[in-house]
Amino acid sequence: MNRSERSPAEPLGHPRASHSPHVSPSCAILHSTCTKSGLFRRYNVAHTSRQKPWWLTLCGTRQEGNTVKICWIGLGNMGLPMATHLHTAGHDVVGFDLSPDARDAATAAGLRSANSAAEAAENADVVVTMLPNGEHVKAALFEAEALDASAVDALVLDCSTISAEQAREIADAVTATGRRFLDAPVSGGTAGAQNGTLTFMVGGESADLEAARPLLEAMGARIFHAGAVGAGQSAKMVNNMMLAMNMQSTCEAAVLAQRLGITPQTVIDIAGVSTGDSWALRNYYPVAGPVDAAPSNRNFTGGFSVALMRKDLGLALDAAAAHGVDTVATAEVARRLDNLVADGRGSLDFSSLIHLIDGTASSAGSTR
């Protein structure tokens, strides 16, 4: 019996697999919303506390019929570690990426890998996209037919950073098929993805968020319901505006401090407990040495690329123009990112903005 033939009242962990599950207490809210939404089919047990939900406990057994099948599309610097956390939590994760190297990396991490988006999404309960832009999300879901291949009541969870308008457009197309949609972009960078400490900013129906919450908790430390579909993207856009400007000011301060004879660690120690504090200062200091996880210690590779930050600032500038907001500082940082792209540095982490200040990048003169 395939998923489409199963009775709606039959749970994912139905004893059809000759397994009598041990059911742990769970959250009454999660049970009721999952039951109403159909994402995780009805299972008649009592739920009395906010502990691990019954279906996640079952998934940990890795027995046939007990796992929630998740299609993951986009296995890059962020997507692969996020998908791996779900796999570690006991879910049946099937990944796809256009890059053969990314698919090989997923296989090496223990995930199943598919040769197409549709193959990865076959009968999936949840389809997660983590892609560079909205057009890629549309292509994966609709042109590559991942949506059609998924379960008839699947939840689509888009963790990409796209425009709020695109999120609403995609949501309309998804929900027209009877499936559900949440936009859930993240903050925390590659370190947050690897450590499972991401922040999720979610737009969509409350019931769908509650059904998806255990999945998000497996990948992150904080979950915020920003509002209706598209609100998650709007919140992420505003956050990235501030991040970009914090990074620019941190780069300027880092170069000036060096030339004044102040060590990077001293700058972090003092500003980190003073009014100059920021996430960029503490986690992404653009000079190698004091912050082990910072891309500056890896020659600015393997982080949040210049090209992607420039894309995000473009979304912010478009939204600001549409709403009559003066964003002169955002526009200036976007221009500097353009200079890095023109200098062939678009794939480097965006903290490489420091190269325009210390003179490393050949386009530095055009920023003054």
On the 0-12 / 13-18 / 19+ scale of CB atoms within 10 A, 4 is exposed
Active site residue 236: yes
| Cα gap 349→365, rounded to integer Å | 21
DSSP for 282-304 reads HH--SSSSS-TTSGGGGTT-SSS
What backbone torsions phi and psi does residue 16 show, to the nearest 5 degrees?
A: -55, -25
For residue 136, give both structure tokens: 């890629």
b/e code 44-80 from CB counts within 10 Å (16+ = b)? eeebeeeebbbbbbbbebeeebbbbbbbbbbbbbbbb
Q: Which helix (H) or strand (E) holds 167?
A: helix 164-175
The crossing angle, in degrees rounded to 10, of helices 231-259 and 264-271 is 130
| Rounded distance between C-alpha atoms, residue 225 and residue 241, angstroms | 20
Scanning the structure block, which residue is given the tokens 């055009």? 366
| Residue 359 CB neighbour total at 10 angstroms | 10
Tell me how far CA of residue 166 lies from CA of 158, 240, 277, in angstroms.
11, 18, 34
Please give the Cα distance from 214 to 208 (Å, whole number). 11
State how far the Cα of 277 lies from the Cα of 343, in Å rounded to an integer. Answer: 30
Structure tokens at 56: 């996640």
Secondary structure letter of residue 93 according to DSSP: E
Catalytic residue among 69, 138, 236, 311: 236
Catalytic residues: 236
